[in-house]
Chains A and B, each alone.
Chain A
Amino acid sequence: MIYQDYIRVLTIDLTEETYVISQRKDLKAFLGGVGIASKLLEEHLKEDKPVLDSEQCIVFAIGALSTIFPIVTKTVAMFWSPLTGELGESYAGGRMALTMFMARYDAIVIKGRAKKPIYLSISGHSVEFKDAAAMWGLESDEVGRIIREREPGAGKRSILRIGPAGENLVRYASVCVDTYRHFGRLGLGTVMGSKHLKAICIYGKGSHEIKDRKAYFKAFSDIHQKALTTDLMKKYHDLGTPIGVSGMNANKSIPTLNLQTTFYEDISALTGEAFAQRNLIRKTACAGCPVGCIHIGQFRREFGPGYEYEAISVSYDYELIFSLGTFLGLKTSDEVLEMIEAVEAYGLDAISAGVVLGWATEAFQKGLITEAQTLVPLAFGDQKNYLKALKHISDRTNDFYTTLGDGSAAAAKLYGGEDFAMQLAGNEMAGYHTGYGSVLGAAVGARHSHLCNGGYGFDQADDFSMDTLVDRVFDEELHRCLLNSMIACLFGRRLYDRGTIVTAMASIGETHTEESLKQAAAEIYKNKLRLKKRMGFDQTAMKLPKRFFETPGGGTQLEEDVLNRLIRDYDEKCQTLFTKAE
């Protein structure tokens, strides 16, 4: 905890309805965020029990610099992923980090299973286990509204909730945080559902007395000033992440029609500019972020005859425009927003949901599955049927949709079409097919996400070279272990080089050097690799769908052998991490 020599952990047992606080000096070496969360997961993981066993845990943690420096806004969740069967690690913004910080918890561990549906009301002074039986089955935003009305602390609280998909244990169920941010990937919503935990409200009205006001304010002001003068502000505030849509398309890198291609003819109505002009109604930010990249778009829906319209607003991002747009051949921003509304309501991970539907569409076209199974004919561009399919996934309507709810890897294993089930180790691909970097990055990334090491970024760099790719991906993965211990939003990553982190830490009385931070990051990465091993993951045994090697990424035709060699090289680097130190 800030200004203390320990990490303050709240451990909640849902079965017993008890909780304890511990002050863990031993965790201080792991900085915060992913560093402490991976240690806590290591302690609580029961690899001999099923993934969704009541004894498994969820760990939330904030970082060493959380929310008192600009763009340091995220909370990490770590768990055993029911989707991939290995490391579950996901980040969400919103107000959660700020409220945990103000409630004076560095980490919250949740284990056990409630006897009936409940929600947790957590404040600096208490944890309450509250009845949520009547909320079971309700959509995510409805739950948000109810809790908002029941709990105190407007502006100082954060509300996490799951939708029906989480209750029904769809393996890629998400958790919505403060309406517009999510623990999207890898099925945290599923784990919450398995624990009968519908929602969590964290109320942060406490405070921390500043030790050295002058030093802190100087460091804060400098970084704030830097944040305002970088191109970050303009880039991410003006159009938000969708600014990338047209560029990615021009570079032939945006996965389209289940990655049959990486160039979308009909992109014009799906670009950042198109969304901004047609749908954008406001922008917002996570607490502590001056940028404000969250873009809210609105569309109008006719729900009955006689000019009956409703206006619906949801947040949109690059990833969603890819997964629920180009990947499925949708043509307009309104259609994409309506898809987003559906995944929000059901509480599904938007990326996995879109990619799974991409596989299903192609499998349907190829006759691997029939309409008796899909219930509606699936075709690229047919948004109305996709909306129905999303509901079927969330409800697990029949055997087929139940399997589809287990992820594209599971579905392809049963029905065929593994060559075009676009996942890596069970996690559905993200919106970048830029070249070797994107596939390598997601393949070796600790959680198989594009954000583990930003491998796709190296493909686009002017000085791209196959010889240095493995090293660069590795170094970035390591550096992000550090950023994710702070926990800085990755959009602010260029602001937080090691030197800046040293200065910021010093201003709150934590002495570090660039070297000591580097070492801490290596230890954190090792913990994660150990966890993956315990969960049964073997990097070199990974099999990638053929489609990655059929459809050129960023104009490059990838070869499987070459990629496998890169993966092996990377794996060797990981091994040296262990031999070097021990």
Chain B
Amino acid sequence: MELTGAEILVRFLKDEGVRHVFGYPGGAVLHIYDALYKQDKVEHILVRHEQGATHAADGYARATGKPGVALVTSGPGATNAVTGIATAYMDSVPMVVITGQVPTNLIGNDAFQEVDSVGITRPCVKHNFLVKRVEDLAITLKRAFYIATTGRPGPVVVDVPKDITAAKTDYVFPRKVEMRSYKPVTKGHIGQIKRAVKLMLSAERPMIYTGGGVVLGGGSQLLTEMTRLLGFPITNTLMGLGAYPGTDKQFLGMLGMHGTYEANMAMHHCDVLIAIGARFDDRVTGNIEKFCSKAKIIHVDIDPSSISKNVRVDIPIVGTVEQVLRDMLRILKEKKGGPDKAAIKAWWKQIEEWRKTDCLKYETSPEVIKPQFVLENLYKVTRGNAYVTSDVGQHQMWAAQFYKFSKPYRWINSGGLGTMGFGLPAAMGVQIAHPRSTVACVTGEGSIQMCIQELATCLQYGLPIKIITLNNRFLGMVRQWQEFFYEGRYAMSYMESLPDFVKLAESYGHVGMRIEDPADVAPALKEAMAMKKRLVFMDFVTDQTENVYPMIPAGAGLNEMILV
């Protein structure tokens, strides 16, 4: 039977197993919206700004491992979506974004609401397509999902001109795709894996360093098993938290710019570094010249271009984290004799010494709410089981430091692009994916205002997100840098004319709470969490002068931390 392009698109989404689409209508996508209207298999979530659609789709993907889908109109719809696309790209999140386009005969004419969406998004997508014939629509969509979800995942944009959505053709769901130019590897080279295992077992001061790739690649369980078997210390990057239980004694906490003293010192002094699904980002390595200078490095990654990009490695292994870890574990178990017990024991003794600095300790106060205190309590009240999204700034770092994630897919933040405004719409995506779970959005009074309009979406779809605002009346992270590196000249980092967040939440139909007394922190959190059906906007008035410690200043090595 012949279907219109719009009908094909919607049928395809259903056949591909897509349950939710985050979007916003407009002229170029009206046929698609009409097709959505006539069915009930694919649910459309109406956001209030296209940036929200892409972040929500992104949050959905990060919390499920399945691709998120967004639908926006041409021109301003597409440009508004770009921040969310770039955010997903930097963190390798599988996502398909369908953008409407002006009719093919008008392309290139500066038509109403025309932008070159393929051109604008090219540098921040894994791939993108402009569909030129309705006959190509279904297979192009199939390719988009295939590319987005395989290899190193990432966002794919499909630009669909309006006339294509009206044109008719036969529809058959394309079950399979073959692309001669795209064949992602899966299994790592077995010889390399054997060499890696040998090196691991010869280590005297080993260190495991893992990133977002382990979460995305579903390697968490295998990683945990291997780490326990070896008895080695392990650290996670900001993106990798939750891949290894945050409460385990082998876990040294996060590493990098605001990582723990023990994690960074162990990195600096290790003799064998096992990097898995991590990309040696500049926020992790500090000064690259001084990075792990004593170590032989094993690097497992799905993306060959991540290997030896920033740091030269000794044993590169290209493959999916899951497959490689499976092979590693098998080989490890077959081998007689484990790691050098005495050496590892001495190494742990050293690490325990570093741990004693208790680098995350902070001064509590009976008068003013310390931001760290809020997060410690959030962790306790939710028993570490919440999905936590965050925005960008100090609150993000404190969330990463103080919420001990013990499962993958639970910690959702914009690590690579550092996009303020990500937290709330991402939380919507998470809550849609997990309607019965607790979803907390940790944010600042600066960040939350960047996508605050999504409070309306939350009401419309009954999303009982708990917004934890650490309100320090400052763009705190900016203020911290100005305090440290600009002699306290606080240029434009003070937040004036703040709204009354309680009233604001109420006017959107939600519950608002303002918490000023440290004694109220835990009770207020309990009260909010008990409101299972309501979004609660919690405005914690926190200490204005608190800084995130430890900190590695730009240009310094991992062993040159500012502790307090």
Q: Do A and B come from one complex?
A: no
A interface residues (Cβ-Cβ under 8 A, vs B):
none
